[in-house]
Amino acid sequence: MHLSHFLRVVFPAVLGIGLAAAAGSPSLPNISTAREPVTNSYHGVAVVDDYQWLEDAASPAVRDWTRRQNERTRDYFERLEFRDGLEQELSELIADESASYGLDDCRGGNIFATRFKPPAQQPVLVRLKSVFPPALRKVVFDPNAWNTNGATAMDWSVPSADGRRVAICLSENGSENGVLHFFETETGRALPDIIPGVQYPTGGGSAAWSADGTGIFYTRYPHADERPEADQRFFQQIWFHKLGTPVSADTYELGRDFPRIAEIALVASEDGQWLLASVANGDGGDYAHFLRAASGAWHQLTRFEDGIKAIKFGPDAALYLLSKNNAPRGKILRLPLTNLDLKQASVLVPEVRGVLDEYVPAASGLYVAVMEGGPSRLWFYPNHGKPVEVPVLPVSSVGGLHCWHGDELYFSNTSYLVPPGWYEWQPGMRQPRATALQMASTANFDDIEVVREFATSKDGTKIPLSILHKKGLPLDGKNPAVLYGYGGYGVSLTPAFNSTRRIWFDAGGVYAIANLRGGGEFGEDWHRAGNLTRKQNVFDDFIACAEHLIQRKYTSPAKLAVMGGSNGGLLMGAFLTQRPELARAVVSRVGIYDMLRVELDPNGAFNTTEFGSVQDEAQFKALQAYSPYHHVLEGVGYPAVLFPCGETDGRVNPAHSRKMTARLQAATSSDRPILLRTTATAGHGMGSSLKVRVAEQTDIYAFLFQELGVDTSVWLFK
Question: Hey, which residues are catalytic here?
Answer: 566, 684
Residue-by-residue DSSP string for 595-624: TTTGGGSHHHHHTHHHH--TTSHHHHHHHH
Torsion of CA 493, 499, 504, 509, to 10 degrees: 50
Reduced to 3 states (helix: H, G, I; strand: E, B; else coil), residue 16 is coil
Helix (H) or strand (E) holding 156: strand 152-159
Number of neighbouring beta carbons within 10 Å of residue 257:
8
Give how far Cα 304 sits from Cα of 201, 265, 287, 290, 613, Å: 22, 15, 5, 12, 19
Number of neighbouring beta carbons within 10 Å of residue 504:
22
Cβ-contact 530, 517 below 8 angstroms: yes
DSSP code of residue 628: G
- Residues for the chain: how many in total? 718
Task: Give the span between the Cα atoms of 457 and 254, in whole angstroms.
Answer: 46
Helices marked H in 96-171: 143-146
Q: What φ, ψ does residue 189 adopt, rounded to 5°?
A: -70, 135
Residue-by-residue DSSP string for 522-566: T-HHHHHTTSGGGTHHHHHHHHHHHHHHHHTTS--TTTEEEEEET
Tell me the CB-side half-sphere exposure of residue 685, using CA atoms within 13 A: 16
Task: Give the span between the Cα atoms of 72 and 56, in whole angstroms.
Answer: 21
With 0-12 / 13-18 / 19 or more C-beta atoms within 10 angstroms meaning exposed / middle / buried, residue 246 is exposed
Residues 6+ apart with CB under 8 A from 40: 46, 47, 49, 596, 597
Torsion of CA 532, 538, 539, 544, to 10 degrees: 160
Q: What φ, ψ does residue 656 adopt, rounded to 5°?
A: -60, -45
Q: Which of 67, 201, 188, 72 is nearest to 126 (CA)?
A: 188
**What percentage of the chain's residues is helix, strand, coil (to nearest 5)?**
25, 35, 45
Task: Give the span between the Cα atoms of 287 and 322, in whole angstroms.
Answer: 11
Give how far Cα 90 sits from Cα of 20, 125, 496, 667, Å: 19, 25, 18, 35
